[in-house]
Amino acid sequence: MKALIIGGGGFVGSYLAEHLVQDCGWETILTKLPQENVSVAGCQAYNLDILDRDAVQALLVLQRPDVIFHLAAQSSVAYSWKNPQLTADINIHGCLNVLDAVRDVEGYQPRILLIGSGEEYGALPEGTSLVRETTPVHPGNPYAITKLTQNLFGSLYAKAYGMHVVMVRAFNHIGPGQTPQFVVADFCKQAAEIAAGVREPVMRVGNLSAARDFTDVRDVVRAYGLLVQHGKSGETYNVGSGRAIVIEELLKRIIAQSGAEITVEVDPEKLRPVEVPVIQADISKLQADTGWMPEIPLEQTIGETLAYWKSRIGQ
């Protein structure tokens, strides 16, 4: 089996590449941006701009992978408010370049996994906290709108052209190596800096009342590997832990593991214009079709993420 990870230079891509090479034994290729530095043993890397349609198609003609994981995205909700146009260019036009490039290669029918987001659900109906794939979607930020659009195009291409396209709505995934534009990495980095004495003992946070579904990135990439093999074409699957935790509780656990005395202050710059109170994934469809279960507990992920940042600060 030959796999191509488009957007493999990011946080999830390297974990996915390691999983496919080491655990699955697949020949694996990844694409990255020129400024990204990623090295996974046994995995070949190519520079690729997904907004360059001809370059995308040339790579597919050269490699003809059996499965394609489309991870390339502008994935920060906060940044999508600041630059919605760039977010739309990368997340919508980039995805269409991949789908159309596949369609235009004669006799080529790979399995494609499009990575979307639990943010697509947005504001939930009154009294609803657990979201199924059939829950109505009301995206509440520019990033979520682009990911919903990607999902709709994936479904359309599967039906209209007979392509094998499976869509994912991934909820918050976390772990060592994630950039601090995401909440757990942000909290762990601040806590590690305070513990090391290189930052004043004040942690600056956004909205702590929201509840989110967090899953270790290593569990997430296992789900992706199973879905590209066993997911049904044209279908969407939630990928998450199946439980939500309030951000304030998550923060308390991070502070407790840090061993530092920390004061918490709300930073207006970290607040979003629109915030959904609770998002929690129903993962029964994923489990029914793949047998996947999350394995890594939240406390372990927090501990390893804190250790990652303490190591970085120590260096």
Q: Give a three-class secondary structure readout of 161-177.
A: HCCEEEEEEECEEECCC
User: Is 252's pLDDT higher than 70?
Assistant: yes
pLDDT band at 271 (very low <50, low <70, confident <90, very high): low
Q: Give dist(CA 168, CA 236) in Å, integer.
A: 5
Q: Give dist(CA 9, CA 48) in Å, integer.
A: 10
- Are 105 and 85 within one domain? yes
Token pair for residue 45? Answer: 């890397």
Using only the alpha carbons of the chain, give its radius of gyration.
Answer: 19
The CATH number of residue 101's host domain is 3.40.50.720
- Are 140 and 262 within one domain? no
Q: Note the pLDDT of residue 129.
A: 77
Segment 170-194, tens digit of pLDDT: 999 999 999 998 899 999 999 999 9
- Are 267 and 167 within one domain? no
Q: Give dist(CA 117, CA 296) in Å, integer.
A: 21
Q: Note the pLDDT of residue 21.
A: 96
Range of the domain at 63: 2-174+214-242+285-290
**Domains in the chain: how many in total?**
2
- Are 260 and 237 within one domain? no
pLDDT band at 297 (very low <50, low <70, confident <90, very high): very high
- Are 135 and 234 within one domain? yes
Token pair for residue 258? Answer: 């840090």
- Are 60 and 196 within one domain? no
Question: Is residue 238 a contact partner of residue 282, using CB atoms and an 8 Å limit?
Answer: yes
- Are 249 and 300 within one domain? yes
- Are 114 and 203 within one domain? no
Question: Is residue 305 a contact partner of residue 185, using CB atoms and an 8 Å limit?
Answer: yes
- Are 235 and 255 within one domain? no
